[in-house]
Amino acid sequence: MVSVNLCADQFALMLAAPGQLVSVTHVAADPHVSVMAEATHGLHRNRAQAEEVHALAPDLVLAGPWTPAHTVAMLRRLGIAVTVIPDVRTLDAVPDALRATGAALGREAEADAMAETYVNELEALRAAARDTPGPRAVLHSPNNYTSGTGSMADQILTLAGLSNLAAEAGIAGGGFLPLEEMVMLAPDMVISAEPYPGASRAEEVLRHPAARALAGPGRHALLADSDWTCGTPHVLRAAARLRNAAQEVE
Amino acid sequence: MRDHRALMAALLALVGALFAASLLIGPAGIAPAQALAALLRGDATAEALVMREIRLPRALLAVMIGASLGLAGAAMQGYLRNPLAEPGLIGVSGSAALGAVIALQTGLAASFALGLPLAALAGAAGAVALLLALAGPRGGSLTLILAGIAVSALAGALTALVLNLSPNPFAAAEIMFWMMGSLVDRSMTHVWLALPLMVVGWALLAGLGRGLDALTLGEDAAETLGISLTRLRLMLVAGTACVVGAGTAVAGAIGFVGLVVPHILRPFVGARPSALLPASALGGAAMLLAADVAVRLVLPERDLKLGVVTALVGAPLFLHLIYRTRAEGL
């Protein structure tokens, strides 16, 4: 079994029997984006190219909806079965992806158990969520990217008891919120991603004096991309962390 | 200078009006009166934060970098006596961007305050020196343009390589910024970073006027007038490297400003380099302010690069110049 998609990697690493998974993508070993980075030790790391995957002679390849169609077609032409693990866009879709991975790996029981734990934890968090609107927060990602209504991030913010200002500003899904507009929205809390090594202009805007003025002590939360890049059960960990940060703001 | 007072006053008024427009136009949509009040008040309100930390540095940088590019373009054209010389086209800006990218990715920029602009300066200085050495004092069009193409391509390729090797996933996507330039979300930090080197560069380039005037009579005539060509050349290289390096370090490589502005203003100043230098500085500031206002009006949320706008104006003019140069049999 080989996985060629970061999200499929993480689901497979959570569910596979020892020795069942041979190779995952090299990004799955990067703790910035993958919650299962440690579990990749000793596994082959691929770059999602048909030739190297074929050389590993797998019985089954796990791909994602964003895996290039020509790579998937090439693998199938080479006689390798490919299962596409669906994209997770809502908190309620996490169990489906777990079960789809479980079915592909022949690990249905493990997937069911993990899905059940997730649903219980999700319900508990939802039950604890208040009715009154919480602090007004905005997600400030590199390049002034933010997430509004309908996005996974928006659902996590709501679950953490925060009201998402990007949604209020009319951004649906992902979108760019100019720094000026973010300042004018006067958020109670700014949530940004942990910086990557090296330098980029995209991340420089997170340290812009105007952004720093908004994100004073106690009004700023850092979140690891790994917790919500993919809709793994770890999204609940991000929600719990944000809830603690939200309580500090009040 | 006396004859050009009206032109300078008009250019100054234009820069003032565009500077005001740059301060008043933005996605936050603050009413003009309120915006100016907030700018002067400078308190902790959101309006004051937007005006002082976001729009003011952007407008200041447009003036500083535009003036630098206009000045450098006029000086290079004066020295090489070639209307096609321009820091962006012949790879000086691209080499400055390479220096800046190397400083950022190796951590040199983070290790000491002026690391970023000085690395960009080194890149620019290397490119100007190489081009002047290849094109020779008379600056033959063909050699200059061919050498410029090679330097541009090499600098662009190395910039892309450095960004692709970066461990930062966002860096590779920023090739466009370094090649086309943008002033989005710059801060006062960038103004202070660029200003010291720019002031040095402005002083060096402004001092070239008399020498360039003499050079219009030919090299021998210039030397008999007591102009040291070696010194002139050194001041040009150092001045251009300072202003282009500092500007590119904070805003990326912006092309065509140094080509278009001197070309438009030359007829008004009677082709005298000493008069063209200050006029081109003001004209460059006006052009970059206008381009930066245009990117905000045309595609406010897409971060349209400045180089796109300047190239749309500048590239047809460049082709026209090449056509005319060819027609004149140069």
Contact A183 B46 (CB under 8 A): yes
Is there a common fold for A2-120 and A136-249?
yes
Contact B54 A179 (CB under 8 A): yes
Spell out the residues 6+ positions from residue B226 whose beta carbon is closer than 8 angstroms to its own. none
Overall fold of domain B58-327? ABC transporter involved in vitamin B12 uptake, BtuC (1.10.3470)
Residues of A in contact with B168 (CB under 8 A): 196-200, 203
Is A197 near chain B, with CB under 8 Å? yes
List chain B domain ranges: 58-327
Per-residue pLDDT of B57-69, as tens digits, reads 999 999 999 999 9
Per-residue b or e along B13-52, where b marks 16 or more CB atoms closer than 10 Å to that residue's CB: ebbeebbebbbbbbbbebeeeebeebbeeeeebbbbbbbb
Closest CB from B47, B168, B301 relative to A198: B168
The size of the A-B interface in CB pairs under 8 A is 84
Residues of A in contact with B177 (CB under 8 A): 201
How close B229 gets to chain A, by Cα (Å)?
41
Strand partners, A149: A172
CATH of domain A136-249: 3.40.50.1980
Per-residue pLDDT of B268-321, as tens digits, reads 998 799 999 999 999 999 999 999 999 999 887 777 899 999 999 888 988 888
What pLDDT score does A133 carry?
73
What pLDDT score does A228 carry?
84
Candidates 3.40.50.300, 3.30.460.20, 3.40.605.10, 3.40.50.1980; CATH matching A2-120: 3.40.50.1980
Closest CB from B28, B44, B187 relative to A208: B187
Q: How many helices (H) and strands (E) does chain B have?
A: 16, 0
Give the predicted TM-score (pTM) of the model.
0.88
Closest CB from A142, A176, A202 relative to B301: A176
What pLDDT score does A184 carry?
93
List chain A domain ranges: 2-120, 136-249
Per-residue pLDDT of B247-274, as tens digits, reads 999 999 999 999 999 999 998 998 799 9
Phi, psi for A146 (deg, rounded to 5): -145, 170
Closest CB from A144, A180, A197 relative to B50: A180
Contact A210 B49 (CB under 8 A): yes
Asked if pLDDT for residue B236 goes beyond 60, the answer is yes
What pLDDT score does B139 carry?
63
- Other beta carbons less than 10 A from residue B87's beta carbon: 36
Q: How far apart are CA A136 and CA A158, in angstroms?
A: 10
Please return the burial class of B306, using the count of CB atoms within 10 Å of its CB with bins 0-12, 13-18 and 19+. Answer: buried
How close A181 gets to chain B, by Cα (Å)?
5
